[in-house]
Structure 1
């Protein structure tokens, strides 16, 4: 049978229903894979393997004649450690929160459990999820399964690494500046930033329009499967949208779809392998029948950085500052730097109102393009990956031979946290010279989820990607 740890969720469910595969067999294979590779990858912050196997035995009964399996019945799902589970530790990846226990379960996890998914593990993040890499003093360094010298990105880096290393079939992520799409790009997986409000979240960050919880998977169909489970209104989230809008089971083709291909969003540094892989995705969509035209967006990364840090200085930064005031010695240097950088940005650049005015100007050319095209495609990041364990405080990140003022300038994702109502799907675009995968963002019109999935599925059909790293 197919390599079980890398079996797609949709195929696993088909085999479960035909009784050609037991949920116990799949869970056992995933657990054995985790025990073999975790010492090198370090993607799992918490493991509940014995309980998961017991739950898989219960799920097995749902597939017997007369049973009624739920949408995720028996699938191993890793949840990002940031998504709390009542009665379990809620550390935020920080030594300062080492003894914190969650009082409530995140709506995303509630829905996975209600759909029969088995949370066999939780995945690592940077401290407070405030970085685009994944290492912390609490959990150590999480590494990229494609090249262990590199990070799997962040902040959902543990989820991306778990999928790429075969230690989860599905995973959850959250995205405030690229934290689903960057790890998906770095690990050769699929990650979806839903439009704001599509997936319920918890206060207070559910009220932050930069914040999105979403699915991560190895295939477009698997990503849609998990998205359809977690979507929809929730009584505790005032911004969660009703009715629930789900991705169609049959996505169809992209013949006639108008695609704006942006090799760059403006003045970002893009390395040659990333540029070539993005162009190859554009060509794949053209081969699939889409009308693809190269466009210029004309944004300035300095404006995007300024808008983002003003915004973070109003909400995200103060949440870290509050902990730092009492436990500063316990925090990582990068968390302390984030709190300070966001505080000073808001003061220096005119505060929240000035930030909103800048955000409106940033969205304008995107909105004008999406008025003429069905989707926009662009690189997810200018470089394939960051070095594992590096926080870029004492050293500067160099991309395409240019030293960046701040390492987050390598990312083209934050633009679409500003344009937060746009759905964005990351799909793999190829590999870099260092063996690390690269990704492309497929950006849709506000709340047009299905079209980005249809485009992603078309890319997957024309340019299927490898799921298992050769070296792991």
Structure 2
């Protein structure tokens, strides 16, 4: 098997081969490291790389499989961890010169579970400064690029994870999502990204108490997303918001014949690129071919739906940046300072208005979902913006029109479902634009009905035959 074939092997298939002694964790790790070294100079998906340690751990995993003893759920699999969560004894930069090379004493709950399950950290993936942008570039680490077309961003803030997965530079990856930060790069790089409902996966304080905040898996297949989600999911004594009991997702699902699926192309408020629309319609045709009824609906939302989410983020998340900006303004990025400025202007009444806006959104979405099995919309209104977007003041254009929204999130149709935070959302690919950049759709279900989105995505993926199955379906690097 060629090295590239190993690089794009799914995690579930790799585990089968490990157990059958047809593949060694060392072989897989070497292929992934070689690929990471090849693409890192051009794409910069990684910040810190732990290749030597990863190879040592792969040898230990190889020995476990050779003995035929008990192995963890992720034993020997390469994984990339976003550079914003903690791994004890290893640096975490948050994409900022302010906190670069911070060494935590404890690991984040999700990372503890991943390591306990036997996964091996290849490296930490790039994020914009403090994960506060929809693109991935920082003064600390430079510009992270899209493997499908390096002129464009892989999205943000989990852009390094998306870039590494699409490039074959890891087998699994982790992301976090407070305004779309898992789903934006999932769409822009053509991978699978899951935003679980609030509380499903334990998180770090204090943002574990923010209902917009979610940590979740990023993968190249739906089955791999289920595999990783089942490892990280579950309550933690350190997170009061984490849900009991642990939910374990099924790995097998019934067909979706007879389902009723609602869709909106624009969420009643976005201008959407014509290629995104075309690819979304093509995806909807796949669902029809699977026996589902597909109906367009109106949500009764308007521009205020996105503005609601932005107001929430400005008030809470932006406040943490405003504190830093007082002391470190000279070494912070333009977009982080812009976020901090908005936070200074935000009042408690603005935050209350955001809560009222969220309630208003669900007044229509909740009753609508009682009539349908799932809801589908594009993930992004554009395939992607340029790789260095938001280096300074920017104008966002879609279909030649200047967007009325904040350029950071005005091209991202993700934030409304952080506002509706208890709804599970699975982002999957829908095709490619003419510039080579992937496009994607979001599959949304009723609150806390996680398995529904995976059932829909499993059927959809099977109908398409997967996304990285051969060289013709991989980036040309």
| TM-score, normalising length: structure 2 | 0.96
What is the rounded CA distance, in whole Å, between the counterparts of 2:152 and 2:466 in structure 1? 20
Matched with 1:443 is: 444
Aligned to 1:188: 190
Provide, for residues 318-362 of structure 1, a one-character-per-residue CA deviation record: whole Å limited to 9, x for no partner: 111111111111101110001112332x33x93222211111112
Q: Which runs of 5+ in 2 are unaligned?
A: none
**What SS class does the counterpart of residue 97 from structure 1 fall into?**
coil
With 308-317 and 272-281 compared, the bigger mean Cα shift is at 308-317
| Deviations 1:209-241 (CA, angstroms, capped at 9, x unpaired) | 000000000000001100000000011000100
Give distance in 2, aligned partners of 1:224 and 1:99. Answer: 32
Aligned partners of 2:145 and 2:153 also within 8 Å: yes
CA–CA separation in structure 2 for the residues paired with 1:86 and 1:51:
14
Corresponding residue of 1:339:
340
In 1, Cα distance between equivalents of 2:439 and 2:314: 30
C-alpha displacement of 1:98:
2.4
Q: Please say if residues 309 and 342 of structure 1, whose CA atoms lie closer than 8 Å, have aligned partners that are also in contact.
A: no
2:230 to 182, 204, 228: 228
Q: Secondary structure at the match of 2:58?
A: helix
Instruction: Tell me the equivalent position of 1:350.
Output: 349
Residues 393-402 or 452-461, more deviating: 393-402
Task: Specify the SS of the correspondent of 1:95.
Answer: coil
Aligned runs of 1:66-215 on 2, under 5 Å?
Answer: 66-215=68-217
After TM superposition, the structure 1 = structure 2 runs for residues 300-449 of structure 1, keeping only pairs within 5 Å, are 300=302, 302-344=303-345, 346-347=346-347, 350-391=349-390, 393-405=392-404, 406-407=406-407, 408-449=409-450
Instruction: Tell me the distance in 2 between the aligned counterparts of 1:98 and 1:219.
Output: 32
Answer with 6-15 or 280-289: which moved more. 280-289
So what's the TM-score if we normalise by structure 1? 0.97
CA separation in 2, counterparts of 1:392 and 1:253? 46
Q: Is the 8 A contact 1:264 1:296 kept in 2?
A: no
CA distance in 2, matches of 1:206, 1:76: 26
Gaps of 5+ in 1: none
Aligned in 2, Cα 1:9/1:66: closer, same or farther, shift over 3 Å? closer
Q: What's the C-alpha RMSD, in Å, of the aligned pairs? A: 1.3
Contact in 1 for aligned 2:79/2:172 (Cα 8 Å): yes
Partner SS, residue 40 of structure 1: helix
Counterpart Cα distance in 1 of 2:124 and 2:237: 25
